[in-house]
Amino acid sequence: MPRPRFVRVGLLQSALLVINGVCNNPLVSYDAMASFHLWLEVLSYVKALFEATTLGLGVREQYLKHRNERETIAEAERVSQVISTYSEEELEAILSRLKACRDRFIREGSGAARQKCLCNVFADIIAGNGGRLPLAGDILRAIAFRNIDSPHVFIACLRRSSERDFDFRAYALEQTGNTFRTVWKSDILSSATPMAFEVQDVDDDGNREIVFEDKSYGTGGGSYSLMIYSTSTSRLFSLTESLNWQNRAGPTSPEIEIKPADTPEMVRVLEDIAKRHGFLQPGRMVDFESPEFSVQRWHKENGTRTSGLVSIHHYEGYPRYEATVAATLV
């Protein structure tokens, strides 16, 4: 039996790489090749749905536009001759699924669930044509993008070993020939659930960066990080807010660390993006007359001493920090 082969499809390439899920049922066949007219329908719907997902354009209007444009017609003619891994029946099945995604877009508009409907179809098409990402495991998100300084397609991925694992990592893949290679991966993220993960040109230089978040909290402290990886410079920049609740003499606002701090323009970019993601917010006003800040008042007046002459301030009402049930009931 012949092996499936990967064929680069120009019009589909950027759309088919926007994968948010992993398909478990690839459609692979060695029957008669699908017809030009069926490929034209599939390509027109793929382009229309992709533009509806990424640009918010109308599905029906874009479908009619692409079905009658020369570029789509020429591509449909080409792929009907060179792609041999789909039969007429299988491509009709894909077309039916694309139409179901179309109906869902029209009914519900944009959103994560509608995007996943389309991306699952894309994953099937890639798998059925022998293409694959050089990553195993559970890929939660994948975003394809281009940089002005490179002719290659890049893919940003968020992946874990399996659906039962929590070893999340961010990856950057770069097109090499007709496949992709891993050019960077992050350390294992501390967060047990996926957080913000996106691609954007943060410094307006025509090259896009991978932007993602991570957080780690425990009983004694915690941290919240924003990270930006630049595929053009191969550098990772991060801004981290940290709190140490075990140190009651410490500040109530988080300590901020920026790494590396040797690129002033990226420090400014980090500050701007961090504020958009909810970082760097003003702290609460400390009122030493309020029992909520009794611990801070103690350390302000007495420091860390636990014996000798100390200042004591009496608040009305119940204590803010109850150590025992008895203390609460007294």
- Do both 123 and 58 map to the same domain? yes
Sign of CA dihedral 154, 195, 138, 237: positive
In a domain, 298, yes or no: yes
Do 296 and 272 sit in the same domain of this protein?
no
Euclidean distance between CA atoms 115 and 158, whole angstroms: 16
Q: Single out the residue of 234, 215, 246, 93 nearest to residue 154, CA to CA.
A: 234
Does the residue 83 lie in any domain?
Answer: yes
Q: Give the CATH number for residue 254.
A: 3.40.1420
Q: What pLDDT, on the 0 to 100 scale, is given for residue 323?
A: 54
In this structure, is residue 37 part of a structural domain? yes
List the alpha helices (DSSP H) in the chain. 10-16, 36-55, 59-67, 70-82, 88-108, 112-128, 264-276, 294-302, 325-329
Domain end among 132, 162, 183: 132
- Dihedral Cα 308, 310, 315, 317, nearest 10 deg: -10
Q: Are residues 37 and 82 in the same domain?
A: yes
Distance CA 228, CA 65 (A): 37
Whole-number pLDDT of residue 321: 59
> Residue 210 above 90 pLDDT?
yes
Domain match, 309 and 235 both: no
Same domain, residue pair 162 and 106: no
Same domain for 304 and 221, yes or no, is no
Q: Are residues 95 and 190 in the same domain?
A: no
- 21 and 78 in contact (C-beta within 8 Å)? no
pLDDT confidence of residue 298: 83
Query: Across residues 284-296, what is the average pLDDT?
Result: 83
**Residue 92 forms part of a structural domain:** yes
Residue 142 lies in a domain: no
Question: Could you say which of 132, 162, 196 is where a domain stops?
Answer: 132
Kindly give the pairing relationship between strand 169-176 and strand 255-259.
unpaired
- Which pLDDT does position 213 carry in this prediction? 95
In a domain, residue 4? The reply is no
- Report, as an integer, the average pLDDT of 150-174: 89
Question: Which residue, among 226, 235, 212, has the nearest Cα to 258 in the 3D structure?
Answer: 226
Q: What is the pLDDT of residues 222-249, one digit of tens each?
A: 899 999 999 999 999 999 999 887 776 7
Give residues with Cβ within 8 angstroms of 253, minimum separation 6: 283
Distance CA 24, CA 27 (A): 10
- Residue 5 resides in a domain: no
Q: What is the pLDDT of residue 55?
A: 66
Q: Is residue 283 part of a domain?
A: no
| Residue where a domain terminates, one of 102, 132, 162 | 132
Over range 204-215, report the average pLDDT.
Answer: 94
Same structural domain, 119 and 168: no
Q: Which amino acid is at 222?
A: G
My answer on whether 161 and 268 are in the same domain is yes
The tally of domains found in the chain comes to 3
**42/84 same-domain check:** yes
Confidence of residue 214 (pLDDT cuts 50, 70, 90): very high
Structural domain of 321: 291-329
Claim to verify: residue 109 and residue 159 sit in the same structural domain: no
Q: How many residues does the chain have?
A: 330
In this structure, the answer to whether residues 223 and 116 fall within a common structural domain is no
